[in-house]
Structure formats: C-alpha cells, structure tokens
Structure 1
C-alpha cells in the first residue's frame, strides 16, 4: 500500500476457516467462488489494509509475533493492540515474500470522516500518479506487475473462450505470450487483444478482447458501450502498455547545445523470464464464473495441482 492510501477487502477474512469438502460447491458459488479452494474464510468481511508506516497508537502483542523467516506473517492472529485499551485491532504482515500491510479487523475499528475533504473523485484523471515500472532497479520483474498480470491473465483466459489469442508485439507479448502458448491452443482464428480506455476509440468486434484500465481510486473496470470481452490492469500499468513512450511535459528553459547527444541510461532489461503471481492467478480465476466451463476448469486444475507449473 502507498502511504496515505487504504483498501477494503469485501470478502470475509480470518477465522473461522472451513475446508472445501465441508463448504461444498453450491454454498461456495453463493459466496462467489466457482472452483475448489483449500479453505474458505467465514470471518467478518470488510478488513481494511493500510501501509505499515501509517499506523499510529498501537503496540505489538509479543506472543503473536510469529513469522516464517524475517518478519511477521500473521499466522498467530491479530498482533497489534490498541495502545490505550489493549484490544487486539490489527494484523501486521511484513515477512519475506509477503505483501507488507497492516490489516485492521472490521469488527474492532470504525471509520470516521476526515476533518476536510481531500477533493478526490472517482474519475480517470491519474496523470499525477507515479507509474510503476515493470522492471525493478535490480533487474528483476516487478512483484506488483506479477500480481496484476496474474489477475489479468485469469480474465483474459475467460474472455478467450478457449480460442487462441493474438497479442501486439512488445511488452505485452513478453508478459503474456509464453503463458498463452502454454495454456491455449495454437492456430487460427485467434482473438486479438486491443487496447481500450479513456481517449481511445472502441473498434468493437466479436474477435476482440479489450485491454482496459482499472480506475485508480475505485478499482472498477473501465467500460464502454459495445465492449463484451475485456481484461483489466491497474491504470498506470495499462498506460505503460498503451503508451510506453509517453512522458509528462514539464516547463523548462533553454536546451541542449547543437551537436550534444543525450546520455540517458538505456531502459532496464530483465534477467529472467516473466512469471505472473500464481496464487493471485488462481485466486482470481476461482472467482470468475466461466471457470466452471470444462476447458477452463482443466487449466485451473492443472495449475493448481502443480505447485511450480512450468509457465509460472
């Protein structure tokens, strides 16, 4: 989470947990889960995530500070208590390989209105937001991109209907080409991935799958009349794919002398093949109704049964 932001998980989280064999397909489908998962939470929905550095007025609970390796993993339950009353109110997670966040229990905290309006609206104006580059300074692929593409891949497979998918050349092929070759049949006719979003025309066709952005504040998918099949990515990542050479114009004076060549560093290149986040992919695909179709369920089971499936 970025400092100063928060997110709300609409699904139940935390104990009690019930195994899939006990829940059953019908009750799981009522919860919006359409493929087998190990367990389902029947805790309280509405957990609130914020950046760990934004937390104030809490103390760690020493006996609940278990972790796998280098930090806290939250497996012992809420590990942050209110500094005033001692009530367990949140779970801090910062172990290695886990997303760092503090999750406030929805039945232990309540929201209060801010003293003044922030002036933010749920529009598509995100020009001031910093873009997340696909490659970290270390040369590794960004974990944020791996998670976002894992979720987007689940929607892309569902939109494909089991047909081949044609990707535009460039970064999108680097991210998804190898995966689609492994998971979908080859040949023609293929469905073409076409960018769509604010400021772009919609050329609707039954053979198009539209790459659309998520609203940077609400997380809602961008929609337009005539769009039937789409897969989403966060706004800044969508913009990076749609306009990779776009630069924000800043006021400047002067310029380089004639004959002087810029010496900007070349763009970073990854040192390994891209792999989407397998867990995010499975989590998302299990919650898409199309996964009940035999061909897509076979993909779900294949990836789920192989802990280190070759394409992940």
Structure 2
C-alpha cells in the first residue's frame, strides 16, 4: 500500500491506501443530486488524462497538440494541466485545511472551479481539491505536482481473481429505491457505447432482449442507420459461455483496470469494455433476499411468485457528457460516419438519442 505526503514539507496527507482502477464515473456531473463518495475507503486511483488549468479553446489548439493529449475530435476546452491526479476518499485525507478564498461552489459544497482548495496544514501549500457540491461525486483530488507518493508503507493485498470478484462483489442494481436509473449505469453505458460505436463500423447491431436492451438498444437505434441488423451483440466474461456474436460486452477489473480476455477462438469478436459492477448485474442479476414476516404480508416483502419489477418508466439515457468525452479520445472517431455524427451532436449532446 502507498501513502501521499506534501512535496514541499513532507507532512502526511493520506492514510495508507491501495491503488485500484479509476472509476468510469469519476468525472461525472449528474443531475442536481448530492452524490456519494467516489472511492472506497483505503483505496486511491490515478487519472491518466491531463486536467485543470491552463485551459485553451479547441480553436486555439493545433491538431497534433490535441492528439498528444489524447483528443481526436473537438471539445469545448483542452486542458494543458498535469496528468496523473490522484483521487482518494475524503475520509482518508489527513493534515489539510480549506483555503478560504477558494470556497466556490454552486450551492451545496465546493466544486474546485478556482483550482486546488485544500492546503497542507503544516506549510500552507495548496495540495488538493475537495469536490462535494451537488452533481459531483465526493472526492479529494491530490495535485500531482504538489504531493509525493511513498511506496510500500504497508502490505498490499493481491488483486482479486475474476472468480473471487463474482463471489464477493455483487453488481450495482440499475435503479435506486425510487425507481430512477443509477448514475453509475448512465456513466458505464455511456463509456461502453463509445467503444461499441467505434467497433461496429456504422452498421445496425442486434441487441438481445432484457435489461441490456433497455440500456443499449435505444441509443444504438438513434445513432446507427435503419435496416436489418448486420452485427450481433452479447455479454461475455467469467462464468458465462463464450457467445456466438460479433461484438461482446466484457468486464473491466475494478482493481487492476484490465479488460477480461476471451479464450482463443477461430473468429474473435470485437471486445467492448464495460464497468465490472454494471456488467456483473447484467450477467447475473441479483435478487433481493426475502424478508421474514408474520401476520399480513407487507407490500415490500417478496413472495414465492416474485417477479423482477419492470424497468423504470423513465427511458434510460447514457451519460452524454461522458460518452462524447470518451468518444473524442478514440482514434476511430475520425472515421467519416462517426465524425459526421460527432460533429452534428457534440455541441448539443442531449439530442444524441432523439
């Protein structure tokens, strides 16, 4: 396990934490809700993308400079800040204080619009940005230029095997207790959809019935041309048989960030990575455990004739912001059909699935 200290004075800034993969929803802005904590306690992740000021408009950036920063299609602004920001749970941070003049936010907390808003308590240098305003996942982002990693401060457990993940890590249900779609699903499907469009070549795709149809079929039909399907989509991964499909949704390991690999076959389908927690629920839907009860059967108690509730009455929408942000980072966005779709919709992303 690692820890982080102030690069200027060496003061402790975090407890020992174990590195895991960056969640796909790390940069998500979702509705106007107060969001949960992004990272599990005792873990950290590193964002490989440049982020933060200085910012430049797309028109001010040469194509080669944009590509060097992993961008292959227009975006509103391009970050020329450092890559490698470290994100941890707020409860794992030590020895920091809020910078009074950088307490800007919309209404419910801090959003980091003015740059790092946490300083080292010992020396006063700005070292991190706390995000806890509404619509933002609660987290502390350590400035990679202001902190230093201390390696191997404590033994780190080995990553779980795929089999252990299936046993011990249940999937994220698609809806909350009120029947609304979970933001993690919107983020995960939005990112996977970018990979799926890059792999399909612009031809219609057949999506199997079930929850996967509720999340992927509508946006695919809105983007791809009408006509008989030419490609098929299926789930693949640990615990599932190898499907006979042209495109397969496979899980990404939440700790290592590695994509599950298909066993060798004569015809390799195109692999589309999907967040493990969403893939897990799609592949093996969880049933709520029955609640023992006496007397009159309460409305929320499962019966022997239990059937899964119908999908939310609100149509599912992938996260458009994350979809376009990720699609702009795939070289395939430069193919003529996908570039035409991108140029037509990225400035008004909400129209993408109409």
> Paired residue for 1:39, among 71, 77, 81?
77
Cross-structure match for 1:12: 50
CA contact under 8 A between 1:122 and 1:218: conserved in structure 2?
no
1:198 CA drift (Å)? 2.0
In structure 1, C-alpha distance between the alignment counterparts of 2:237 and 2:85, rounded to whole Å? 30
The alignment status of 1:276 with 2:276, answered yes or no, reads no
**Matched residue SS, 2:97:** strand
User: 1:283: how far off?
Assistant: 0.8
Aligned residue number for residue 252 of structure 1: none
Write out aligned runs for 1:145-160 (5 A).
145-160=185-200
The aligned residue for residue 161 of structure 1 is: 201
Distance 1:282 1:240 in 2: 25
Match of 1:129 in 2: 169
Superposed, 1:29-108 pairs within 5 Å as 29-108=67-146
Residue 336 of structure 2 corresponds to: 294
Cα displacement (A) at 1:61: 0.6
Counterpart secondary structure, 2:85: strand
Cα contact 2:170–2:281 (8 A) shared by 1: no
Partner of 1:232: 273
**Distance in 2 between residues matched to 1:40 and 1:90, nearest whole Å:** 21
How much has 1:122 moved relative to structure 2? 6.1
User: 1:243-301 CA deviation, whole Å, 9 max, x = no partner?
Assistant: 225799xxxxxx99xxx9x9427645424111111110001100111100111112212
Within 5 Å, give how 1:130-279 maps onto structure 2: 130-203=170-243, 208-224=246-262, 225-226=264-265, 227-245=268-286, 263-264=301-302, 267=308, 269-279=311-321
CA contact 1:13–1:43 (8 Å) conserved in 2: yes
TM-score by length of 2: 0.78
User: SS where residue 103 of structure 1 aligns?
Assistant: strand
| 1:304 maps to which of 346, 350, 354 | 346
**Cα distance in 2 between the residues matched to 1:163 and 1:198:** 28
CA distance in 2, matches of 1:211, 1:53: 34
Aligned length: 302
Q: Secondary structure at the match of 1:110?
A: strand
Q: CA deviation at 1:228?
A: 4.5
Write out per-residue CA displacement over residues 24-49 of structure 1, whole angstroms, 9 at most, x where no aligned residue.
Answer: 22221232211011221111111001
Structure 1 length normalisation: TM-score? 0.88
Deviation at 1:310, TM superposition (A): 5.7
* 1:108 Cα deviation after fit: 1.0
**Structure 1 residues 55 and 130, CA gap change in structure 2 (3 angstroms):** farther
The 2-side partners of 1:270 and 1:139 are apart by: 6
Q: Helix, strand or coil for the counterpart of 2:72?
A: coil
Q: Structure 1: which 5+ residue stretches go unaligned?
A: 249-254
Tell me which moved more, 302-311 or 133-142. 302-311
Counterpart-to-counterpart distance in 2, 1:267 and 1:204:
27
Q: Report if aligned partners of 1:178, 1:311 keep a CA contact under 8 Å in 2.
A: yes
Partners of 1:55 and 1:28 in 2: how far apart?
Answer: 34
Calculate the aligned-residue CA RMSD, in Å. 2.6
Q: Which runs of 5+ in 2 are unaligned?
A: 1-38
**Aligned equivalents of 1:122, 1:91: Cα separation in 2:** 30
Structure 1: which 4+ aligned runs deviate by more than 6 Å? none
Q: Which stretch shifts more, 109-118 or 39-48?
A: 109-118
Partners of 2:198 and 2:332 within 8 A in 1? yes
Q: In the aligned structure 2, how far is the partner of 1:175 from the partner of 1:103?
A: 31
Query: Using the alignment, how far apart are the partners of 1:178 and 1:229 within structure 2?
Result: 21
